[in-house]
Structure 1
Amino acid sequence: MALGPFSTEEGLASLTRGVLYGPSFDRVMRGVHECREPLDVPRDHGDLMHAARLALGEQAVFVGRSAAWALGSRLASPRAPVDIRVSTAHQKRCRPSVRVHHRELGPDEVVETDFGLATSPLRTALDLACGAGREWAVAACDHLLRVTALDPAHVMAEAQRVRGRRGIRQARDVAAMLDPRSESPRESLLRVHMLDFGLPRPTSQLVVLDPRGCFVGRLDFGWEEERVGIEYDGDHHREVATHSRDLWRHNRLRELGWVVFQVDAHGLLAVDNTLAAVRSLLLSRREGRSSGLGGV
C-alpha cells in the first residue's frame, strides 16, 4: 500500500476494513486515508493537497496558498487548510483541513500542475494580494513571483483592471511593493516596514564592488550613492563559516565607507528605532554630498 494519501476504495481493494480503520492508517479526511509509517517522514501541505484532490475530484481547482504551493511557492504550513475551488453541489460540504471556495475562474486562469488544476500565476498572485494580512500578502506574492518569473508590473496591471472585488484596494497597495528579488519572507516584511516608515525605496540584492571593480558583497537592501545598507540576519548567519564570511565582508564594507544595519527576527518586531537611524544617516549623507563633502 502506498504511503501517500489513497481513497477508501483503493484501500479496501487490498485491505480489510478492520485493518484500514486500525492503528496503521490515518483517516486524513472523509474518503481518504494515509499510512502512518514511517514516523520520521514529516507531512507537508502538499500531502494534504493530494488528499483533497482524491476527496473532491480532478476538476476541483487549487486556489490561494494551495495554488501557490502547486506552482512551486512552498510557504504554506502543514497545518494550513487546503484552499480549493469546487463547482458541484456535493463537493461543497465541509471537510476538516479543507477550505472550499466558489470563485469564478476564466479558462485562462487555470493551469495544469503536478498537483492537478490550479489557478495561474497571475490569478494566484491577485488572490494572495487580496487576502488577509497586507505584510504577509507581500511576502507570499514576492515568493510566488520569484519561483514563477511573473512580472510585478503584470500584477499591478491586473489589480488596476479588476473592480469591485473585496480586497482589491489592498491588492493595488501590495502590487506596488512587490520585488521578486526578495530571498525570504522576512526580507519582504522588512522591506514593507521600510516603505511604510517613509524611507526611499532601496535596491534589493545590491552588489557592492571596490574601486577596482572586484566583488565585495551583496546586501539585502542598499542605497548605493549614500553607501547605506540593511540586512536581515536569519539563523544561518549564526553558523561559524557564515559568521566568519560576514565579519570579513562587513569590515571590507566599512573600509569603503559603507554603514550596514542588521536586523534579526527579534529586531523585526520593533524595527522603528533602526529605521529612524537609517533615515537620519541617509539624510546626513545626502546633505554632505550636496555640499561637496562626499557624504562620508
Structure 2
Amino acid sequence: MLKHLKTLPGHQNPVYALANADEDGVFFSAGNDKGVVEWSLNTMAFVKVKMPVQSSVYCLHNYNGRLFIGERSGAFSIYDFAAQKVIARINAHTKPIFNIQTVKGKNELLTTGEDGTVAVWSLDDFTEIYRFQVAYDTVRAIAIAPNESEIAFGCKDHLIRIYNLADYSLKQSLEGHSLPVTALAYHPTGKYLLSGSRDAQLKIWSLPNYELMEIVAAHMFTVYDIAFHPTLPYFATSSQDKSIKLWDAENFKLYKILSLEKAGIGHTHSINKIIWSNDGKHLISTGDDRQVMVWEME
C-alpha cells in the first residue's frame, strides 16, 4: 500500500506546513525555520529556500500560481511564481494564522487562526471583503465542501461549525468531540465530513443531514491532519502519536500503520502535516522531528 521511500533532512526546527507546487514533483515545506523550502520528488532532494519569512509558518496554501504563507505573527504573505517574488504581506490577524483556503467559485481567500475570526479576502487585489467571529478561541481547521455550498470550521471549543458559503451565515453546529477539533476533510464526492480531534477520535458525519455515522478510535493522541487520496478510495491521517494511518474511504477499514514501532521507520515526534503529491503516487509527511518523509504508493 504505502512504503517509506526517502527521508529529506535539512530543517533545523519543527515543520508545520506542506503544499504542492502547480508543477508535478515539486512541493514546499515550512515551520520554525524562518524560510519556505522547495523540494523535488523527481530528484528526492532539497532544491532551494524559496523565500525568507519574518516569523514561524503554520500553514501554506497554493492556488492559481501563488503561494500563500500564514505566519505566527498573524500576517500572511503572497508569493507569485511567475514574478518569482513576494507581491504582498498583509497583517490579517492579531494572533497566529493556522489555516488558509480558497473559495474558487467566489474568487475569495479565507484566513483563520487563534483569534477565532475568519477573514475573507479578494483574490483580485487582496483587500478584505468581510470578517466574522466563528469562535472565541482558536479555529484550527477549515474544510470546504466539494460543491462549494458550505464550509466547516474546527474549533478549540470542541465544536464543528458549518457555514453557508453563499453568505457566510451559520448553518449548523456539530457537537461530538470532547476536546478541540484539529482536522477536517470532506469526502471528495461530498457524501460525508470527517473530523479529527485532540480526543484521538475520527468522527464521520453523513451529509446533508450531519448525522454521526461512525466513531473511529483512530489514534492514541491528537489527530493533526486528514488527507484524501486524489483519485483512489483512501484517506490518510497523521497524529501526535507519531504514526500515519491509511484508511478505506468507504468502510473506514484500517489498511496500514506507518510508524517507527510498526514499520521500523517513521517519525520520532508528532506528525503535524501530510499531503498527497499531485499525481497521487506519494504521501509526504512532516512534523516536530524536523524530517520530511516521502512514502510511495505500491
- Give the TM-score, by structure 1 length: 0.29
- Give the TM-score, by structure 2 length: 0.29
Which fold has the larger relative contact order, with Cα–Cα distance below 8 Å and residues 6 or more apart in sequence? 2
In terms of fraction of residues, the more strand-rich structure is 2
Query: Highest CA radius of gyration, 1 or 2?
Result: 1
